[in-house]
Structure 1
Amino acid sequence: MDELDGPEYIRPAQKECPRCGCCSEDLCAKGRNSIRRCHGHTADQARDVVASCPCSSEWTKHTAAWRNAQVRVTRLARELPVPEESLTLLRALARGAHAEDPNEGFPQLRLRGLAQLVSGLYAITPHGHTYLAALDDVRAPVPVLVLDVDLPTRTARVEVRAWQQGQPVTVLLDHITNDTVMTPEALPGRWLEAEANVEVEHVDRLVLTHYRTVPLAPLRRGWLPAETDTE
């Protein structure tokens, strides 16, 4: 009879995610709060299985990947715009037009996730709409108050008083720390400055970029609590 060196280890079965069917519940909880998504937290042999998981997708609102994509696409529009022929095609697709592409602008749009082929036809993606909004919205520096940070989800809640007073806005913590070189522990209660499109109505369209540390004095009156207003 063959002898074993020790007890055979069998990994306990993990609870399946009720929303996707391709991941465990724990994996989706981790992937939803990571820009690496679910496939970035799995072994090589399982990545193809979970690669399209909707729970962590950048197309699913309020995932870390979606928040990161909103900022990435906004900065792309403002800092590294697509060629004019691609922009012309994208605006036509946003209008719902059946657009031709004589100047071959589509490959640039598809490369950046702004457009796709659907049943052989060109179609704008949600990121394409975000890109156009970033071009058309008025963006300006505004004071931002960091309310608190959540280390497990790598998010922060901030208040953008120039947009809506008393309305928390969730942003990625790493965007703030990378821009300001501040530690997460130093952020709660701190006023910063960021660029934002404060004329939008819905929080899902509000995109903050380019966080900066600033002294209190330059902040415009009316955006600070009464006890910290400066003359």
Structure 2
Amino acid sequence: MDESFGPEYVRPAQPDCPRCGCCTAALCEKGRHSIMRCNGHVDDEHREMVGGCPCSAETTRHTAAWRAAQVRVTRMAHEMPVDQAAEDLLRALAKGPAEADDEVFRQLKFRGLAQLVHGIPAITPLGHTYLASKDDVRAPAAVQVLDVDKKTRTARVEVAPWRPDEPVTVLLDQLVTDTGLDVDALPGLWLAADANCHADHADKLVLTGFRQAAPLPQGWMDTSGGDVE
């Protein structure tokens, strides 16, 4: 006699992501806002399958991984730069195909600054970021946190010496890690950060080293037109 314990529960299939073909839409939504990307949110069995997902890749603008990579490479350029031979090769590759010493090229490839394209050494987008950081002038800047989004783990900030009326998106975890402050204490707060304020676009503006700023002078933000005592 067969015994029945009711219908077997089957979890409804989640809709596929329309952009990549390797993940569900829910996974890509999570991966896009995580530095672990999509492959950091699946089990071992599926990690290889989603490992190259473009929706969360550090080469795709505005993903969490992309934002983290901009910061990482900018800091690398100033704190742990490649040696002069590697920088010379990177600058040559930025202009087009160039002869590359294997050992020097491996140094660039290991750091994600160069790659082989059809067997030919080529600079990567992060390589361009590295060179821009080496050439840019970076200086302390006053930054105000406008608001935070806990779901996407991002914050909008205004950079006073850049374009005070154009918010810039940064990683919320970067703010918390750099400053040691609680997330709920950030909105409205003035901070200091190192910035390349000559950047011509928000995507090229990279903020590093967030820290608590000294108190602003009394009346600094007064727009009434009266004299400040």
- Shorter-chain-normalised TM-score: which range? over 0.9
8 Å contact 2:147–2:187 — kept in the other structure? yes
Whole-Å Cα distance in 2 between the matches of residues 69 and 139 of structure 1? Answer: 18
| Structure 1 counterpart of 2:101 | 102
Residue 171 of structure 1 deviates from its aligned partner by: 0.1
Residue 85 of structure 1 deviates from its aligned partner by: 1.2
Whole-Å Cα distance in 2 between the matches of residues 141 and 100 of structure 1? Answer: 38
8 Å contact 1:85–1:103 — kept in the other structure? no
Residue correspondence of structure 1 range 49-64 to structure 2 within 5 A:
49-64=49-64
Aligned residue for 2:197, secondary structure, equals coil
| Structure 1 counterpart of 2:180 | 181
Give the length in aligned residue pairs.
227
Aligned residue for 2:140, secondary structure, equals strand
Q: Deviations over 1:115-161 (max 9, x none)?
A: 00001100000000000011000000000000000001100000001
Residue 99 of structure 1 deviates from its aligned partner by: 1.2
Whole-Å Cα distance in 1 between the matches of residues 149 and 130 of structure 2? Answer: 28
Aligned residue for 1:153, secondary structure, equals coil
Output the amino acid matched with 2:85.
E
Whole-Å Cα distance in 2 between the matches of residues 117 and 109 of structure 1? Answer: 11
8 Å contact 2:100–2:121 — kept in the other structure? no
8 Å contact 1:38–1:56 — kept in the other structure? yes
Residue 83 of structure 1 deviates from its aligned partner by: 1.5
8 Å contact 1:93–1:99 — kept in the other structure? yes
Whole-Å Cα distance in 1 between the matches of residues 228 and 208 of structure 2? Answer: 25
Output the amino acid matched with 1:18.
P
Cα pair distance change 1:110/1:218, threshold 3 Å = farther
| Structure 2 counterpart of 1:145 | 144
| Structure 1 counterpart of 2:45 | 45
Output the amino acid matched with 2:202.
V
Whole-Å Cα distance in 2 between the matches of residues 44 and 28 of structure 1? Answer: 17
Residue 50 of structure 1 deviates from its aligned partner by: 0.6
Whole-Å Cα distance in 2 between the matches of residues 65 and 180 of structure 1? Answer: 20
Gaps of 5+ in 2: none
| Structure 2 counterpart of 1:75 | 75
Gaps of 5+ in 1: none
Residue 11 of structure 1 deviates from its aligned partner by: 1.6
Residue 225 of structure 1 deviates from its aligned partner by: 3.0
Cα pair distance change 1:230/1:132, threshold 3 Å = farther
Residue 8 of structure 1 deviates from its aligned partner by: 2.3
8 Å contact 2:77–2:133 — kept in the other structure? yes
Q: Output the TM-score relative to the length of structure 1.
A: 0.92
Whole-Å Cα distance in 2 between the matches of residues 126 and 7 of structure 1? Answer: 53
Whole-Å Cα distance in 1 between the matches of residues 174 and 228 of structure 2? Answer: 28
| Structure 1 counterpart of 2:197 | 198
Output the amino acid matched with 2:209.
H
Residue correspondence of structure 1 range 158-177 to structure 2 within 5 A:
158-177=157-176
Aligned residue for 1:146, secondary structure, equals strand
Would you say 1:226 and 2:225 are equivalent positions?
no
8 Å contact 2:145–2:186 — kept in the other structure? yes
Once the two structures are overlaid, the 10-residue window that deviates more, 21-30 or 6-15, is 6-15
Whole-Å Cα distance in 1 between the matches of residues 129 and 68 of structure 2? Answer: 12
8 Å contact 1:196–1:208 — kept in the other structure? yes
Output the amino acid matched with 1:211.
F
Q: Deviations over 1:52-81 (max 9, x none)?
A: 000000000000000000000000111000
Residue 104 of structure 1 deviates from its aligned partner by: 2.5
Residue correspondence of structure 1 range 20-31 to structure 2 within 5 A:
20-31=20-31
Whole-Å Cα distance in 2 between the matches of residues 187 and 8 of structure 1? Answer: 48
Q: Output the TM-score relative to the length of structure 2.
A: 0.93
Output the amino acid matched with 2:216.
A
